[in-house]
Amino acid sequence: MASTKRLLKELQDYQRDPNDALTELGPVSDDELMHWTAVMKGVNGSPYEGGRWKLDIRVPSNYPLAPPEIKFINRICHPNVNFKTGEICLDLLKNNWSAIYTLSATLTAVHQLLTSAEPDSPLNIDIAALFRQGDIVGAEALIRFYTESERWEGR
Amino acid sequence: MSKLHAVEDPTDWLNTSLSCFEPLEAALRCQVCKEFYDTPMITTCSHTFCSLCIRRCFNSDGKCPTCRTSDQADKLRRNWVVQELVDTFKAARPAALKLAQTKAGSEDDEAERPKRKRKLEDTDIEEDSFEDTRRPRRTRRSRSVAHGTSQEEPIELDDSGDGDYDPEEGTTLCPICKSRMKVGLVYAHLDLCDGKPVNNNGATRARTQPSKPKEPLPPAARLPQLNYSLLKDNALKKKLQDLGIAAHGSRALIIRRHTEWVNLWNSNCDSSRPRTKRELLRELDSWERSQGAGASTVPSAVMKKDFDGEGWAASNKDQFDELIANARRNRARKEAKTEEREEKPNEDQIDSMPTHQPEQAPSISTPVRHDEIPNPYEGNEKALSIVREKVDEANSHGRRLRSSGQPIPAPPRDEERPGSINEGPPLDEEVDANPPISSQQPSSQFVPISPNVDMSRKAHMFRLPEDPIIDTDGGTSVS
Ligand SMILES: [Zn+2]
Ligand SMILES: [Zn+2]
Ligand SMILES: [Zn+2]
- Which residues of chain B are within 8 Å of residue A69 when distances are taken between CB atoms? 299
Q: Which is higher by pLDDT, B165 or A22?
A: A22
User: Could you tell me how far CA B278 lies from the centroid of its own chain?
Assistant: 29
- Enumerate residues 6+ apart whose C-beta is below 8 A from B184: B5, B6, B155, B156, B158, B159, B170
B303–A140 CB contact, under 8 Å: no
Per-residue pLDDT tens digits for A29-45: 878 899 999 999 999 99
Does A26 contact chain B (CB < 8 Å)?
Answer: yes
Tell me: do B83 and B142 sit in the same domain.
yes
Whether residue B468 is contained in a domain is answered as yes
Nearest CA in chain B to A130: B361
Does B421 contact chain A (CB < 8 Å)?
Answer: no
Contact A76, A15 (CB under 8 A): no
Contact B36, B88 (CB under 8 A): no
Whether residue B64 is contained in a domain is answered as no
To the nearest whole angstrom, how far is the Cα of B453 from the nearest Cα of chain A?
8
Contact B262, B243 (CB under 8 A): no
Chain A, window 31-70: residues with a beta carbon less than 8 angstroms from a chain B beta carbon: 31-35, 41, 43-47, 50, 58-62, 64-66, 69
Cα of B192 vs centre of ligand 3, distance in Å, is: 7
Tell me: do B182 and B291 sit in the same domain.
no
Q: How many CB atoms lie within 10 A of CB B440?
A: 13
Strand partners, A35: A58
Does B190 contact chain A (CB < 8 Å)?
Answer: yes
Predicted interface score ipTM higher than 0.85: no
Does A71 contact chain B (CB < 8 Å)?
Answer: no
Instruction: Please name which of B82, B86, B88, B85 lies closest in space to residue B41, comparing C-alpha atoms.
Output: B82
Give the pLDDT confidence score for residue B246 in this predicted structure. Answer: 92
Q: What span, in angstroms and rounded, lies between the C-alpha atoms of A119 and B50?
A: 37
Return the active site residues of A.
89
- Which residues of chain B are within 8 Å of residue A84 when distances are taken between CB atoms? 372, 374
Q: What span, in angstroms and rounded, lies between the C-alpha atoms of B201 and B176?
A: 16
Judged against a pLDDT cut of 80, whether residue A136 lies above it is answered with: yes
Give the pLDDT confidence score for residue B305 in this predicted structure. Answer: 34
Helix, strand, coil proportions of chain B in percent (round to 5)? Answer: 45, 5, 50
Instruction: Please name which of B260, B270, B157, B174 lies closest in space to residue B218, comparing C-alpha atoms.
Output: B270
To the nearest whole angstrom, how far is the Cα of A58 from the nearest Cα of chain B?
7
B401–A123 CB contact, under 8 Å: no
To the nearest whole angstrom, how far is the Cα of A18 from the nearest Cα of chain B?
9
Task: Give how far Cα B450 sits from Cα of A19, A49, A99, B66, Å.
Answer: 15, 26, 11, 7
- Which residues of chain A are within 8 Å of residue B303 when distances are taken between CB atoms? 3-4, 33-34, 61
CA B447, B453, B456: angle at the middle one, nearest 5? 100
Whether residue B171 is contained in a domain is answered as yes
Tell me: do B188 and B233 sit in the same domain.
no
Q: What is the DSSP string of B170-228?
A: TEEE-TTT--EEEHHHHHHHHHH--SS--SSHHHHHGGGS----SSPPPPSPPPPPP-G
Instruction: Please name which of B163, B190, B167, B166 lies closest in space to residue B179, comparing C-alpha atoms.
Output: B190
Tell me the whole-structure pTM to 2 decimals: 0.60
The type of residue at A83 is: F
- What's the structural domain count of chain B? 4
CA B386, B391, B397: angle at the middle one, nearest 5? 120
Tell me: do B165 and B208 sit in the same domain.
yes
Tell me: do B141 and B156 sit in the same domain.
no
Tell me: do B92 and B165 sit in the same domain.
no
Residue A22 DSSP symbol: E
Considering B125, B147, B169, which residue would you say is the last residue of a domain?
B147
Residue B398 DSSP symbol: G
Instruction: Please name which of B218, B230, B231, B226 lies closest in space to residue B260, comparing C-alpha atoms.
Output: B226
Interface test mutation site (partner A, options B445, B454, B455, B460, max chain A beta carbons within 10 A): B445
Q: What span, in angstroms and rounded, lies between the C-alpha atoms of B320 and B333?
A: 20
Tell me: do B31 and B99 sit in the same domain.
yes
Contact A78, A124 (CB under 8 A): yes
* Residue-range definition of the domain harbouring residue B289: 228-303
Tell me: do B271 and B350 sit in the same domain.
no
Q: What span, in angstroms and rounded, lies between the C-alpha atoms of B150 and A11?
A: 28
Long-range contacts made by residues B389-397, C-beta under 8 angstroms, separation at least 24? B389/A141, B390/A137, B390/A138, B390/A140, B390/A141, B391/A135, B391/A137, B391/A138, B391/A141, B394/A137
Q: Which is higher by pLDDT, A135 or B455?
A: A135
Interior/surface letters B187-225, b for 16+ CB within 10 angstroms, e for the rest: bbbbbbbbbeebeebebbbbbbeebeeeeeebeeeebeb
In this complex, the residue of B363, B394, B443 whose CB is nearest that of residue A119 is B363
Considering B303, B327, B362, which residue would you say is the last residue of a domain?
B303
Whether residue B55 is contained in a domain is answered as no
Give the pLDDT confidence score for residue A118 in this predicted structure. Answer: 72
Tell me: do B452 and B397 sit in the same domain.
yes
Give SS3 for A23.
strand
Interface test mutation site (partner A, options B183, B393, B455, B461, max chain A beta carbons within 10 A): B461
pLDDT one digit per residue (tens) for chain B, 479 residues: 444 446 888 999 998 999 999 999 999 999 999 999 999 999 999 999 999 999 999 999 999 999 999 999 999 999 999 999 999 999 999 999 999 998 765 544 444 444 444 343 444 444 444 444 434 443 344 444 444 444 433 433 334 334 444 444 567 777 667 677 776 677 667 666 666 666 554 444 434 444 444 455 555 689 998 889 999 999 999 999 999 999 999 999 999 999 999 999 999 999 988 999 999 999 999 888 887 644 433 333 333 333 333 333 333 334 555 555 665 665 555 555 545 544 444 444 434 433 333 333 333 333 333 444 445 555 566 666 766 666 566 555 543 333 333 333 334 444 433 433 343 344 343 434 344 333 333 333 333 344 344 444 566 776 554 444 444 444 444 44
Nearest CA in chain A to B337: A23
Considering B303, B322, B349, which residue would you say is the last residue of a domain?
B303
One CATH from 3.30.1310.10, 3.10.110.10, 3.40.50.300, 3.40.50.12780 for A1-150: 3.10.110.10
Tell me: do B135 and B90 sit in the same domain.
yes
Whether residue B221 is contained in a domain is answered as no
Per-residue pLDDT tens digits for A44-93: 999 999 999 999 999 999 999 999 999 999 999 999 999 999 999 999 99
Q: What span, in angstroms and rounded, lies between the C-alpha atoms of B279 and B212?
A: 12
Query: How many Å from the N-terminal Cα to the C-terminal Cα in chain A?
Result: 30
Q: Which is higher by pLDDT, B150 or A123?
A: A123
Size of interface A-B (CB pairs under 8 A): 301
Q: What span, in angstroms and rounded, lies between the C-alpha atoms of B312 and B105?
A: 33
Nearest CA in chain B to A77: B376
Tell me: do B232 and B110 sit in the same domain.
no
Interface test mutation site (partner A, options B191, B260, B291, B300, max chain A beta carbons within 10 A): B300
Whether residue B410 is contained in a domain is answered as yes
Task: Give how far Cα B430 sits from Cα of A11, A123, B20, B355, B435, Å.
Answer: 43, 33, 41, 9, 9
Tell me: do B138 and B8 sit in the same domain.
yes
Q: What is the DSSP string of B110-122?
A: TTHHHHHHHHHTT
- Enumerate residues 6+ apart whose C-beta is below 8 A from B314: none
Positive or negative, the CA dihedral A114, A119, A121, A124 is: positive
User: Could you tell me how far CA B408 lies from the centroid of its own chain?
Assistant: 43
